[in-house]
A = this chain, B = another copy of it.
Amino acid sequence: MCTADPCDTLLIMPTTRLDLGRIRAARPDIDPVFRDTPLYECDPLGRALGCTVSVKLETANPVRSFKGRGTELVASLLAGQGGTAAVCASAGNLGQALAWSGGRRGLDVTVVASRRAPATKLDRIRALGAELELVDGDFEAARERAGQIARQRGIRLVEDSLDLETCEGAATIGLELANGTPAFDAVLIALGGGALATGVGHALKLLAPDVEVICVQPAGAPAMTRSWHERRIVTTASTDTIADGVAGRFPIPAVLDDLLTVADDAVLVTEASIVAGMRLLLEHAGLVVEPSAALGVAAVLENRDRFAGRHVATVICGSNVDLDAYHRWIGT
């Protein structure tokens, strides 16, 4: 006799909002400067980590992060619909990307960020021509204020990870990873709001289902990882990590559902491992990265046995880092 409850089945295989056909169709709407980014095996880094490591470099573009893939979709759709303005909350990278993509399409872009966000990210948002509003509090306070502005002005609110364009833009990275030869054994993806992980994971699960999709989050900002493990939303009262790009506290239910369909694992790493990862990326790959971009390497450092001899790929998702802080962290 079958005792399975239909609800259990739904929990085990939730539906997803993402669509591979739409992701493929989205590519032409993304400026080539964000597409087909370098993907290469970094032998010295692999030697240091005891496995084969390939990096997918998302920093060699005008906004130094992967976020342009999503904002290109947001801005091209919005401009196509006659929209003239958009607002987003940002830890710093989404704001730069939306300022870049919106600016090129004549959109007025407003970015709300925490006063505590890295100065270098805030400066570049302004330099790209966006209106920047700073709030006390953290990223979640910025999210609240961005919603207010959107309602007051009647303009488009761009919500990272909730808005499908942000996930499906990121998913184009997954298309490119799935074309990688030889196939990877595992792909390590920074986990924050979830756009990157759900997007890349979705494309991989459909096109290269044998690749293990592993999300990595700082132990100091574990809300989405805990939610994934408990299969329900878990929030935290605060965050404590240098990885400012992934430091949310309130996971979005729809994004968690998407993540449950594609992630094979979600792990937490310490601040010390993140710093060690940044240092290894500098020493062995010549890459200056922001803390979020070192999460994949940190995960290997914390569990070398799991990855020994395997071929892992990690997405280097951003390099917008305050250099003074960077040097202080890695001790140069």
Report the minimum CB–CB distance from A53 to chain B (whole Å). 11
Complex Cα–Cα for A60 and B127 (A):
27
Residues of B within 8 A of A76 (CB): none
Task: Please give me the 9 A-B residue pairs with the lowest Cβ-Cβ distance, nearest first.
Answer: A38-B60, A286-B319, A33-B40, A57-B60, A286-B288, A40-B61, A40-B62, A327-B332, A41-B62
Q: Is A282 an interface residue (CB 8 A)?
A: yes
Residue tally, chain A, CB below 8 Å to B: 31
Q: Is the CB of A282 within 8 A of B62?
A: no
Nearest residue in B to A123 (C-beta to C-beta)?
B44
Please judge, given known A-B contacts A64-B286, A327-B332, whether A38 and B37 are in contact too, CB under 8 Å.
yes
Most buried by B among A38, A64, A124: A38
Nearest residue in B to A324 (C-beta to C-beta)?
B332
Q: Is the CB of B286 within 8 A of A44?
A: no
Q: Is A59 an interface residue (CB 8 A)?
A: yes
Complex Cα–Cα for A224 and B197 (A):
50
Complex Cα–Cα for A213 and B82 (A):
42
Interface residues of A in 310-332 (CB under 8 A from B): 319-321, 323, 327, 332
Interface residues of A in 30-60 (CB under 8 A from B): 33, 36-44, 47, 57, 59-60
Interface residues of A in 258-297 (CB under 8 A from B): 282-283, 286-288
Q: Is the CB of A42 within 8 A of B62?
A: yes
Nearest residue in B to A332 (C-beta to C-beta)?
B327
Residues of B within 8 A of A287 (CB): 288
Q: Is the CB of A127 within 8 A of B286?
A: no
Residues of B within 8 A of A323 (CB): 282-283, 332
Most buried by B among A57, A60, A282, A332: A60
Residues of B within 8 A of A320 (CB): 286
Q: Is the CB of A38 within 8 A of B38?
A: yes
Residues of B within 8 A of A41 (CB): 62
